[in-house]
Amino acid sequence: MSFFQFSDEELRARFTNWLEKTLFRERIKYLIKSQAHSQEIPLELISREVVPVFSESGCSDDGFYFTNDTLSSAYYILNPNQRRLLVLLYVYKLKPSDIADMLPHKSKCSIYSDKYRILEELRNYLSIHDN
């Protein structure tokens, strides 16, 4: 069957079908490629035993309390990933290399730089709000 034997409607239907399949495949390729470069870590990869979840009252599931209200409010201005990093470093006393092994997108150097940036942010907040 040659190209000229098809009617316009049949050619349009075949082209539409081909275009839909091609776009579908390209969307899948795009999603796979974008997920490969994603900096996010699914929470399922980090167990609840290692990283406690804190409530706004200053108490976590394992009974961790803040004695200083200013420190508690400074802690809660941090995003959850920054809080988790502080908990892993100071509560569980993990080394940055151990944390880098747990978190595949973080290097030991980035853990150190994140730690110092977070501590600087806390110092700035406490210097402003601590009279």
Give the closest residue to 85 by CA, choosing from 74, 72, 96.
96
Q: What is the pLDDT of residues 3-17, one digit of tens each?
A: 567 788 888 999 999
Q: What is the pLDDT of residues 58-73, one digit of tens each?
A: 455 434 567 777 888 8
Q: What is the pLDDT of residues 17-59, one digit of tens each?
A: 999 999 999 988 888 887 766 566 665 666 555 555 555 554 5
- Please enumerate, as own/partner, the contacts of 118-124 that have beta carbons within 8 Å and a separation of 24 or more: 118/78, 118/82, 118/85, 118/86, 121/77, 121/78, 121/82, 122/74, 122/75, 122/78
Q: What is the pLDDT of residue 62?
A: 38
Q: What is the pLDDT of residue 64?
A: 52
Q: What is the pLDDT of residue 63?
A: 40
